[in-house]
Chains A and B, each alone.
Chain A
Amino acid sequence: MDELLRDFLTETGESLDRVDAELVRFEQDPNNGAILGSVFRLVHTIKGTCGFLGLSRLETLTHAAESLMGKFRDGMPVTGEAVTVVLSTIDRIKAILDDLEATQQEPAGSDADLIGRLAQLALQEPPALSPPQMPVGQTAQSGRSEPPRNAALAPDDDKAAGDGAEKPPAEAGERLANHSIRVSVDTLDRLMTTVSELVLTRNQLLEIVRRHEDSDFKVPLQRLSNVTAELQEGVMKTRMQPIGNAWQKLPRIVRDLCAELGKEIELEMHGAETELDRQVLELVRDPLTHLVRNCADHGIESPAARLAAGKTRAGTIRLSACHQGGHIIIEIADDGRGLDTERIKAKAVESGLAGEAELAGRSEAEICNFIFAPGFSTAARVTSVSGRGVGMDVVRSNIEQIGGTVDLKSVAGSGTAFTIKIPLTLAIVSALIVEAAGERFAIPQVSVLELVRAGGGADHRIERIKDTPVLRLRNRLLPLLYLREVFRLADADRDSGFVVVIQVGSQVFGAVVDGVLHTEEIVIKPMSSKLRHLAVFSGTTILGDGSVIMIVDPNGIAQALGRAAQTAQAAESVELERSEENVADDKVALLVFRAGSQRPKAVPLSLVTRLEEIDCRRIEISDGRHLVQYRDQLMPLLRVDVEGGLKSEGAQPILVFSESGRSIGLAVDEIVDIVEDRLEIEVSGNRPGVLGYAVVKGATTEIIDVGHFLPQAFEDWFRHRAAAKTGSARRILLVDDSPFFRDMLAPLIKAAGYQVVPAGSGAEALAALKSGSAIDLVVTDIEMPDMDGFALAQAMRQEPAAAGIPIIALAAMVSDDTIERGRAAGFHDFVAKFDRPGLIAAIKEQSADFTRAA
């Protein structure tokens, strides 16, 4: 591409982003001469350059816009209509530029429509009374909102408006043209790599000199060391960008939202100059945009409601950023209605995230945090504003992915504030260097909760439930894995070592290592493309002594636990593990126990929250039911069958299940083992509470249906819910080729008050639909042999009897790509396969739509 043209495109792109931001503030504060001047100059500059490059269509358009802007500058009052037309013009300019970039030619077409409107507005007579103008050049201090830094122009700048001087993008208003140059990001990245290498070499030299006491190298090396540190800091600085770059599009977004929602919102931005690494900046851009949209859509009330509540007509969204330690803190606050905790509670119960009793004991803050739960916000009404298929759970997981946290404070009636804390850079992270079977590995500190010494006389010891190692840590049963075993370096024959307690999403587990060496700030180097398929590693790094070690990906090793994780993210990693090695195909960790009869019984371990032993004397009997005080609540105790279970003295082993937020205890005689095996239910159960029989490690085992016991314990609650649904139970067609999933999901859906019609294949599903068995909703797996979910959706559209029925897809892995494909195929919603609360929420939403439509 012509270099001149490329420079023009880059510069114009930056200028346009700024015009967007400036124009919105201009509308809010039309009397601010400084902003007006700045906008005018930007348009003028674009126009000037277009003329120079012979881009006539762009020139004509910008000329018309400039004429109107000139009128404003001369004192014509600014109307909302005018700003809208100018914004449309800018959109058009962007479209032309996009074409220009792609084809290197100005696209054909006419802009007469916009030019006409621009000219018409420019010709309008100014009102008889001159509007209350402030003197040109007045800065924004007297404005209603504190303007972002780059809006504060020096007063005399305005006079220079017409000279078409180019302005540097970094800080408007200050002439820095001579002090800054444009450097490509690649160059900076390469520089960063080189400096990292220099740092490592320096570390090596220091280590050598340390061994030779009276070395002549000592002093010069010290100097080298200092210079290197300065250089490193300097290069890091070049990669830093002001957070304001990620905010640039927000004023426009908020403005458009206001127009769409009929609200009045002021966007305040503070600390836009706070800098952070450009890589982090890119990753935080989308979550921030989503949060601001959310504030505008859900937080701020309509003007009428605000006035009624004694507030100002216009709501305020306040964005601020500041540095704190090695982190940047970003706050997004609104002065709207705050979160409605009652509604959240209702929704949490409705979507099966928690039970009412459990919610009663929770603080407001804990309840508010439910909005981050998967499947929560997606179930809310889908507006074009905040329902773009992205929920707050995605916001949180995106932020957590870069080692950040997001917190939420809400005061009913006066507003909500989100606080995001993220590290300044991702290139260098703090890591724990551990040893396993003689090899060293780095574990990123962000995911490490604590270190526990186990065995060898320490307080904690590694226990085994037959072959599965666990650690009892503060009343919690922590599943363990041995790093040496996960990496197939050696057998896990040790009962002592250090347990690195790691948190991945909501999953907490311990990784047993032989030793913990030290912590080190490591420079992350990407994995070789040939090794990237190893999910257990996220990268490599070079230590101070020059050796290369692997960086452990906590997400990756969590898969080794073989547990069906709850989050979509974890489900995704499980999927990865499957595709890469054909081991644990449908393997499930099962907890095998005995209760009553001698025949072993089992439940999927992922359903068990805890294993406890309680003193029999603590068991109370009330109303013929067994109860025990457990964690400040009364927990019902149930028996698997009448013969077995409750002892009269000594310690009573129980399995604690916390489905739907409520806990129940299942009394058992003995916990036998935890095994990992394919779970194929071969004979279905004929007794309630038994899903069926399967061969687990060679023994016929009863697979217990936990879903059966929950309603038994909370009869009242379920009966209440069921009563509301009687007679109107909707029929759901559940399509999955795996009998295991069908059997797992069917009771869950039934418990939520629906009728379930199971189907083992796409063909079976179609047959059921054609037979006219009044199906209200289809829930289907995507990956199935012969006819997959996409094909089923397409076939349903061809079938008159089935065409209008909503379809929810169960995906083992939800990627943007699948969602896109699914939408096209006609899926109404996507739910991760392990996200059971999400599934119920989606079913509710879809069947609610159905009710409305009917």
Chain B
Amino acid sequence: MAVLIQNKLPPSAALFLPSLTSSVFLLAEPRKVAEMAGDAVLPASLLGFAGAGAFMLLSAWVAARHFPAPPLDLFRGLWGKYLGPAFLFSYALFFNGFAFFTLRSTTELVHQNLLRWTPQAATALPLLAIAAYLAIGGIEPIARISAFYIPLLLPIIAFFYLLSLLQADLSNLLPLWGEAQMGKVLFAAYFLASEHARTGIPIMLLPYLLHTRGFLPLTGVGMFLAATPFLLSQLSSLAHLTARGVLLYNWPELVAVQMALPPGFLIEKLDFVFLMAWIFIPCMALGWFLHWAGEGWRQVFGLQDRRLTVGAASLLTLSSLLPSSYHAVTEMYHYFILLPAGFFSLGFLFPLLIASLIRGPGDPRRSGKSPAQRKARSKG
């Protein structure tokens, strides 16, 4: 049916969708930061997150000056007939990789904490099916559901982390640097920043939010909202377990919350409420990744039916249940992540940034600003 009333995306999409990246962080085991940065987990985390925020805002700013079209549609135009599909292919793989790890981490979390005796496939399949249903609906339902659930979930999660922090011994945060080496800390920060920023949420949303006033400030607030639970979780796990202690656990932040909470009144183990709240966010993130992976495959293979492309992305994601493929993809993924510029930056952001610096702002008709507005701005 044709769209009757053009509501487009709710502006709250800019505010709440960046929170999906937090789930990736936490579920992709922040323990890895400790492995890379040594004692300086906290400085690396802060630095990494600041870098990610700056990168995302910069990408949103650059895109706001140039492109009203969905970014994946622009690769061919930017890179031509041969390189364009190559970037598209890598980008589709990249999002599929995120979907892959999100599904794997979520099912592991459920397996370890809720359903120990149920096969992982039984927990993964319904989750994947629901996320695929969400992804097939397109970007609007994803934005709507995130705007519906995240304002309910974030305060619960933040509350538990705060509660956990209040019970913690903050002296465990020291030493802030210890025996860490600057190179490794910077590397860990880069790892965090690139992993976080390359989900490219603001830049992916932008074409749908051109009508929204204050898109960039909203994204900034969204980044802050996304950062809060992440940083609180880092702080609370370090304050409870120390920088070396976090290496002992798969889910250090969950252990920290478990250590802090007293028995509840209606629910004996309050950390389950925390866990239940956490399960929703990766579910939404999975829908987001599958959607963009599907869009990538659509562009690569010229398929039109979204059910087909999301279905293909889901099948690839499902392979995370096979131990052999999991290990193989993990290895490959690390190589991708460690590439100096990353596909997203190399393929999309940097060309735009350079074009922006050389040519100034793009065509006003394409940038979402009216000629009158632009004229007034240039006069000012």
A and B, one complex? no
